[in-house]
Amino acid sequence: MHGLILLLAVITTSALVTMKIEMHDPNGACKKYVEKGLDYLEIKYARILMFENADKKQLSRPIIGNLVCNPDKFKDNIYHFKCDGIMARIPKNTIGHSISLAVAPKKQMMLGPIDYRYQEESMKLVENGFLDVDALNSQSFQPNQHISVKNITIYDLKGPGWILDHDFDSCQGF
């Protein structure tokens, strides 16, 4: 019996979608807030969700595309990402998008508004060795340990040659 093998390929991204995230300069105008931020926090990945942009007043719109962007390199306060996932299959001019960033501490840090919400009996970070109380008690809140996004540029999201640019001039950033 002769068999026929049929291979189906799901095309994810037709062109390589890349993203560049520029952080505010730690020695620039936002130094008061971000001077040591990149020593303590890093962007682990980003997600771009695409939705049909027909009615901007509609609060609930179905997600029709989903890209995960992983860091490729970080140099001179700029993250470079390569994105992969499911692209929206509708005309490109009707696509809206939303960007989420996953930020994680490089060093143990649990100070600020989250402190009062933490409950050891449910989270068990101390019991399981993820949180060192002595190290935490020796730390103090530092207002210059934030990160702030200055600019996000996405290349080829709506097709080859498309550039989407999001500029955040203030120190509050993204």
Q: 3-class DSSP state for residue 68?
A: strand
Q: Report the distance separating Cα 140 and Cα 110, nearest Å.
A: 10
Strand, coil or helix: what is 150? strand
* Cα 101 → chain centroid: 2
Mean pLDDT, residues 107-133 taken together:
70
Return the higher-pLDDT residue of 147 and 61. Answer: 147
Confidence of residue 109 (pLDDT cuts 50, 70, 90): low
SS (H, E, C) 4-19: CCCCCCCCCCCCCEEE
Is the pLDDT assigned to residue 113 strictly greater than 60? no
Please report the pLDDT score of residue 9 as a whole number: 36
Identify which has the larger pLDDT, 32 or 120: 32
Alpha-carbon distance 158 to 24, whole Å? Answer: 27
114's CB contacts (< 8 A; 6+ apart) are none
pLDDT tens column, 30-85: 999 899 889 989 999 999 998 887 666 777 778 888 999 999 999 999 999 999 99
**CA distances, 15 to each of 97, 158, 168 (Å):** 17, 9, 27
